[in-house]
Structure 1
Amino acid sequence: MCGIVAIHGEPDPRLGMRMLERIAHRGPDDQGNVELPDTWLGHRRLSIVDTEGGHQPLADQLGNQLVGNGEIYNHASLRTLFADDHWSTGSDNEVALRVIVDGGGHALAALRGMFALIAAGPGLPFLAARDPVGVKPLYWSRTPGSVLFASEMKAFDREHRDRVRPFPPGCFWTPRDGLQRFASAVPPQNQAPATRTDHEKAVRDDLIASVHLQMMGDEPPGVLLSGGLDSSIVAAIASRWCRERGHRLRTFSVGTVASADLAAARRVAAYLDTQHFERTYTAEDAIARVPDVVRAVEHYDPALLHSSVANHFLAELAARHTKAVLTGEGADELFAGYRYLRDFQDDNALDAELRRTVSTLHTLHTLRARPNE
């Protein structure tokens, strides 16, 4: 995961560097910053796309600059819309900058991906934005003279932390127009497929296409494999994609020695013939890891911490072998997988609850994917 920092208004480069240093763990590969009129931008990079040339802040020919955290899955197709443009890099974030310069904040609706990004320069106003689901973290704090942005709350100086708030997903902010929505996590209701067979085909096709889009890095990502339905389906799609290109998918699992999840993950990994890695831990190990997990996810909700401890071990294991992983996160919210949802008897009430849970993923469940320290 990359880390971004920005200050708009009365930027203090020393403050920016302090904030950037506090999230150094988010980007071990590279660091960059730039000072513009009324703006300071900083970036810590975990290089996934265009690992050689995607240094940030990214600049276009006019001097507009962008720092971003995330991946724009449809960046290759979006490039074709600007075929006459000069591209300095193969970075997906350079495409995001071009989209903003060309169409403003509302044009971000064309991006398919997960992102938190900030752009500024002579050809556009200062702009901060976050993806519609809020997969990528972004926080902001308004001070008397400036507006501060960062990927983690711990980046902010202590005197600013009481003002820190999550930046709302699917929105962009400019000093002139304030907060504007460009997309929502849950789209408006569309006409459902006519038959169950059509519906199943639509879900299957969309799921396969979604996984394929995320296999876009210079190195194919691995999969966090629990052995359950959600991650196993993702692993099955990703492993076929890898085999067709001469790669072998890497999968990762953790658990206690007697864990049913570990045993199930081994069976799935053997069936898919993945390069499988696993780690066991004890109850004492889990308890000892809690302070690190609280610091990483910046949350103390018991349900979140319970699952984040395992993810912390998983991230530690996966980081030894790859830079990016796919997970099965979000499936329970989309397909009513939680036990309490079985009590819903009214279809409209269930639909409303699923829309609520998907729209609030950024407040809790997507934070499980953050441990990387």
Structure 2
Amino acid sequence: MAGIVGIARANEEQLTARALAKIAHRGGTGRHLQSHDHATLGQAWPRAQEPYAIGADQHPVVLDGGTYNWTDLGVVATCPLEALAIAYRSLGPGFVADLHGPFALAIAAADGVFVARDLLGRSPLYYGRHQGSLCFASELKALAGWAEEISEFPPGHYYDPTEGLVAFARLETRPTLELPPDEIAAQLRHRLVASVRKRVGNGETGAWLSGGLDSATMTALARRQVPRLDTFAAGIEDAPDLEYARAVAEFAGTQHHERICTADEMLATLPEVIYHLESFDALLVRSSVMNFLAGRLASQYVPAVLSGEGGDELFAGYAYLKSLDLADLPDELIDITRRLCNTALQRVDRCSASHGLVARTGFLDRDVVEFALQIPVEMKLGGKDEPVEKWILRQAMEGLLPDEVLTRPKSKFWEGAGVGDLLATHAEKVISDSEFRRQRALPNGSRLRTKEELFYYRIFRDEFGDAISPDLIGRTKRPPVVR
């Protein structure tokens, strides 16, 4: 992912450059600043995203992410950024509803700046005000200390100087398909194959491989489309995920790379993880440690990786979903999918972007998401004797994955990698019961849920002080169980 910053005011190159420097890690090959009549924009781009020049007659554009269908917008352009500028000028702000792909973008407009973010929030974006002018950035740290009224830019919205903040799309339940399971599985596989094909590009894309069904699906489908695929895993010695990842790598024929780490290394990495993650949420931090190390490893080999994020939300991969009434399941899946933007997708983004790496989420392709929302919930929690999570996805991947992976129950990333108990136990040792009672209340009135979360919050405060409000931190829906 790239890094973008900007303000709806001309001649603010110094301010924009300072903000861009805070997220320079999101780029790797260069940075660019440009001032227009009513806006100053900046961008840092990674190896996997080529910088594009725009003709002098077009308004400057910055983009984090990608638009897979920019050639279908009905405009004559030579590159994605030029297409966005022309589409905004000729079609109006609503053109963003037709874009496919993860994006956070800004276009210098005649009277300010136009800003938009994709429906699922796959590309991060925050906005605020500076001396009354709209400003924005890919990460909170770029705005902290100078911007006011900072908020997360809502997914599926655009901001136009004339119209203000407008919703252009909404994630909603859809009528279910009336097709037999084998037909739905076949159509699902077809859409996943097409999604991965778009994302492997020229073959310089690897894959994060935890050994779970979702990352294994991305790996298996990608390997069938490229002559060589590098896969990456991280974990504690003898962690279950490492064994499953090796099995998938051998089955698919990938070039597999591992990062084995100790408990001391995990603890030493936490400040860096929390700084980039911009969170103290317990589930998010503990699942990010190995993701962060896998990202660092991958950046030594490839400019981009596939990630399996989104499979659990679209296909009912969490154990607690089995206890819900089937009638309530569609709304619950919509809710947890909407929450991805500042929880799991934030993890994926920061654990890749912190190393100048691009992460591509094949499950969150527009065609895949729209199809998944139409699959009957009975096929997501299928099975003869008792509900099996992601049943229809398992059917779609039959023959492409080892049986032990196809039948493996869902394991949280931090459990399979050997992280959770180690971090929770450490927090129990260093934080007393009385300390937790005294310090768990946050300035915004919310409460920290576990000692582990307080441990992370202390590191968060060491990194950011009061510059980032707890109100801006996404919280996962269910706290971890401390044994």
- TM norm structure 1: 0.89
Alignment-mate amino acid for residue 44 of structure 1? A
Q: Which residue of 2 aligns with 1:100?
A: 88
Q: Which residue of 2 aligns with 1:33?
A: 33
Identity, % of aligned positions? 34
> Does residue 201 in structure 1 map to residue 209 in structure 2?
no
Q: Which residue of 2 aligns with 1:357?
A: 336
The structure 1 residue matched to 2:219, chosen from 235, 260, 267, is 235
Alignment-mate amino acid for residue 15 of structure 2? L
Secondary structure at 2:174 match in 1: coil
Secondary structure at 2:102 match in 1: strand
> Does residue 151 in structure 1 map to residue 151 in structure 2?
no
> Does residue 254 in structure 1 map to residue 234 in structure 2?
yes
Q: How does 1:50-65 map to 2 (within 5 A)?
A: 51=50, 54-55=51-52, 58-60=53-55, 62-65=57-60
> Does residue 78 in structure 1 map to residue 72 in structure 2?
yes
Q: Distance in 2 between matches of 1:304 and 1:35?
A: 37
Alignment-mate amino acid for residue 128 of structure 1? V
Q: Distance in 2 between matches of 1:125 and 1:362?
A: 26
Return the offset for 1:70: 0.5
Q: Distance in 2 between matches of 1:347 and 1:86?
A: 47
Secondary structure at 1:310 match in 2: helix
Q: Which residue of 2 aligns with 1:19?
A: 19
Q: Distance in 2 between matches of 1:67 and 1:10?
A: 15
**CA RMSD of the aligned region, Å?**
1.9
1:139–1:165 Cα contact (<8 Å) kept? yes
Q: Distance in 1 between matches of 2:11 and 2:288?
A: 35
1:107–1:182 Cα contact (<8 Å) kept? no
The structure that is strand-richer by fraction is: 1
Q: Which residue of 2 aligns with 1:119?
A: 107
Return the offset for 1:99: 2.9
Q: Distance in 1 between matches of 2:42 and 2:88?
A: 19
Return the offset for 1:133: 0.5
1:96–1:111 Cα contact (<8 Å) kept? no
Q: How does 1:208-227 map to 2 (within 5 A)?
A: 208-216=193-201, 218-227=202-211
Q: How does 1:147-186 map to 2 (within 5 A)?
A: 147-160=134-147, 163-184=149-170, 186=171
1:72–1:96 Cα contact (<8 Å) kept? no
1:129–1:171 Cα contact (<8 Å) kept? yes
Q: Which residue of 2 aligns with 1:367?
A: 346
Report which of the two structures shows the higher radius of gyration computed on alpha carbons: 2
Return the offset for 1:164: 1.5
Return the offset for 1:326: 0.7
Secondary structure at 2:257 match in 1: strand
Secondary structure at 1:349 match in 2: helix
Structure 2 portions without partners, runs of 5+: 356-483
Q: How many residue pairs end up in the alignment?
A: 352
1:10–1:146 Cα contact (<8 Å) kept? no
> Does residue 138 in structure 1 map to residue 125 in structure 2?
yes
Q: Could you say which structure has the greater relative contact order, defined with CA pairs below 8 angstroms and 6 or more residues apart?
A: 2
**Cα shift readout 1:248-301 (whole Å, capped 9, x = no counterpart):** 011111111111111111111111111111110011111111111111110110
Q: Which residue of 1 aligns with 2:270?
A: 290
**Cα shift readout 1:184-240 (whole Å, capped 9, x = no counterpart):** 3x2451341432223222222222222122223x55311000111111111111000
Q: Distance in 1 between matches of 2:64 and 2:257?
A: 27
Alignment-mate amino acid for residue 313 of structure 1? L
2:77–2:83 Cα contact (<8 Å) kept? no
The structure 2 residue matched to 1:324, chosen from 295, 298, 304, is 304
Return the offset for 1:143: 3.1
Q: Distance in 2 between matches of 1:105 and 1:347?
A: 39
Structure 1 portions without partners, runs of 5+: none
Q: Which residue of 1 aligns with 2:248?
A: 268
2:38–2:108 Cα contact (<8 Å) kept? no
Q: Which residue of 1 aligns with 2:314?
A: 334
Alignment-mate amino acid for residue 27 of structure 1? G
> Does residue 278 in structure 1 map to residue 263 in structure 2?
no
Secondary structure at 2:200 match in 1: coil
Larger mean CA deviation between 264-273 and 295-304 belongs to 264-273
Return the offset for 1:149: 0.5
Alignment-mate amino acid for residue 112 of structure 1? H
Alignment-mate amino acid for residue 114 of structure 2? L
Return the offset for 1:348: 2.3
Alignment-mate amino acid for residue 352 of structure 1? D
Q: Which residue of 1 aligns with 2:378?
A: none
Alignment-mate amino acid for residue 62 of structure 1? D
Secondary structure at 1:236 match in 2: helix
2:8–2:133 Cα contact (<8 Å) kept? yes
Return the offset for 1:105: 2.1
After superposition, the Cα gap between the structure-2 partners of 1:326 and 1:303, relative to the gap in structure 1 and judged at 3 Å, is same
Q: Distance in 2 between matches of 1:125 and 1:154?
A: 23
Return the offset for 1:86: 4.8
